[in-house]
Each structure stands twice: as C-alpha cells, then as structure tokens.
Amino acid sequence: MKKILLLGICMAFVACQQKKEAVVAQEMPFFVYDAVDYYHLDIKQQAVDSIAMKADKTNKELALMQILQQRIPVSTIDTLFINNMEILAFDKVRLDPKMYKELGRLFVKQTVENPSYPSCEPIYRDVLIFRKKDKVIGVAKLDFDCGRSAIVGARYDASLFGQSGEYAKLHHLLRSLKTAL
C-alpha cells in the first residue's frame, strides 16, 4: 500500500513538473493588454534616405526620422510619438481581439542558444501599441525587412524577440490588416 502511494506521489510530482515547464514557456508574455493599435507607414527606402540626407529638415521630417530610425519612445510614458504618427499619415487600425491569442504567442520571453543580430539599419515602418484600460503599457516598433525591433515596456527581456521565427509569423498576421488600410 505504501509503495502504491509513493508511486502515485512520484507520478503526480513528475506530471506537475512537466506541466510547470510548459506553463513557464507559454505564460511569460511581454505585455498583458486589452487593446492593440497597429500603425503602418508605406514609405520607400529612397524616401527615407532622401530625408536623412537633407541638411535642413522640417519639424515633420525630424519627427518622422525619430519614429522610423531612432529608439523613440524610450518609455511607455513617452506617448507624444503616437500623436505624431497620426499627423505623419501612418495608417492605423485597432486589432481584432480574435488576434490577441496568436499575438500573445509571439511576444513572449524566450531562450535562444545561438542568437544572431542583423547588422542592417532598421526602418520601423510598423508599430504596435499595447494598451491596458486605455493606458499605453508597451510599444513594439518593427522592421520586417531587416528583422529588427525596438520594444519598450516589456515585462521580460525582449532582446531575443524574432530569434525563433516571430517576424515571419507576425508579418503574416499583420499583412491581412495592411490590405484593409
């Protein structure tokens, strides 16, 4: 009787450990949100290069270059760039909550054995704004061509984002929205 009880306890312990590992892998999302806004700007590399080379940029051009090439925002409190994206003619769409489950699978903490980092200069044409009760809690600026991102407000280290095929999956998910923009 004691052996059966001991065997049952051991089996329960092993099952709990396996379940715990699966939960840890899936339940470490960067953001906990109830709304996501997607911004996209259809701008060619030549246009960006032309603005970058200008000596005397207008205020709009300076704001555009900050969004496209610099690490703006630096925190979730810095929300002025969101208004600037609307002024600068970024297309905007609120994501359907049906997409949140798939989106949540992509923006999670991960472990990668041999990470690689692209050496190209990013142009962040795609921006996701994560909100909770209308408050900005996270921002993901994305360059699908270069495979780079600038993520702010993540609850966990986001430096390995994209190392496991997330860019292709996210690009596919958002591509359907681009046709509606």
Report the distance separating Cα 50 and Cα 4, nearest Å.
Answer: 76
Evaluate the CA torsion angle 55, 60, 66, 69 in order and state its sign: negative
pLDDT of res. 22: 36
Report the distance separating Cα 157 and Cα 181, nearest Å.
Answer: 31
Half-sphere exposure for 77 (CA within 13 Å, toward CB): 0
- Neighbour-count burial of 92, counting CB atoms closer than 10 A to its CB (0-12 exposed, 13-18 middle, 19+ buried): middle
pLDDT of res. 7: 45
- The stretch 9-33 carries a mean pLDDT of 55
32, two tokens: 């906990």
Q: Which residue has the tokens 């980092």?
A: 117
Beta bridge partners of 141: 127, 150
pLDDT in tens, 25-58: 456 888 899 999 999 999 999 999 999 999 999 9
For residue 173, the one-letter residue type is L
